[in-house]
Structure 1
Amino acid sequence: MYEPIRAKSVHSTAGATDFPHRSREEELDIQLAGHLAALLAVTDELGLGAEADRIAEQVARLRGAPPARHAGLTGADPAALHHRALALAGRALVVAASRADTAAAILSAERMDAHTAALHDAHLVGAS
């Protein structure tokens, strides 16, 4: 019923292997650095200096350069910021576990615990 394809695919290009490809670990490094950088921004906004510095160290390790730190405040509700930080730390933990990055996984889990505790203390768990 169907004839076999006799011509080269229009989707393949000559020299398709000439451009560099990133490894799975490099892709996970990029994802993890991105999640941690977003967590850093929220942590900075919450005014958690020492914790933010620890996150910045991990971002610098992954990216090979210190992260840009944003000093501007959005004026967001602290509960919303803690919920966002909790979600970001969870994403970072999943990626850190995927790439077997113990330091980032421990840091992410600690941040999840801290933001969960902050939400419990303020009786805000599940409020968003």
Structure 2
Amino acid sequence: MYEPIRAKSVHTMAGTADFPHRSREEELDIQLAGHLAALLTVTDELRGLAPSADLEVAAERLAEQVARLRGGRPPAHSSRAADDEPRVAALHQRAHTLAGRALVVAASRADTAAAILSAERMDAHAAAAEPHALTSH
């Protein structure tokens, strides 16, 4: 009824080093660094719109974690000015979501430092956005 497969699959050619392979741990590091870098970008925007000591410390800690996960390469920072309350509320919601994603990946790879930082940022952004009520995505 079906013709048998006569050749080996190109997808299972073990022993070839034609392309780099990453471990699950390396993939999770890349994913976590991406989530934390995105959270840093939103944090930088919030710092420009509504500066606070908490956001300054958070930006430093996020930058440290991203650099650690990227093998010492520091992330880029951005800045922005002008107070825009609806934009600030939306940024807090976005930051809360990103921190939650980072928390899931950090927990998956058992990265305590990143998990604690992510949970703290979730709490901070939830508290900052309380008057505006966070919505789930």
Which TM class, normalised by the smaller chain length? 0.7 to 0.9
Give ranges in structure 2 of 5+ residues lacking alignment: 48-54
TM-score of the two chains, using structure 2 as the length reference: 0.81
- Residues of 1 paired with 2:121 and 2:111: CA distance? 15
Partner of 1:18: 18
The alignment partner of 1:69 has SS state of coil
- Higher share in helix: 2
Unaligned runs of 5+ in 1: none
Partner of 2:36: 36
Does 2:63 correspond to 1:56? yes
8 Å CA contact 2:31, 2:105 repeated in 1: yes
CA distance in 2, matches of 1:8, 1:60: 42
Residue in structure 2 matched with residue 119 of structure 1 by the alignment: 129
How many residues are aligned here? 126
Change (3 A) 1:117 1:19: same
CA RMSD between the two structures: 2.5
Deviation readout 1:41-88 (Å, 9 max, x if unpaired)? 111111121111111010011002111112245967100000000000
Which residue of 2 is the match for residue 4 of structure 1? 4
- In 2, Cα distance between equivalents of 1:29 and 1:63: 8
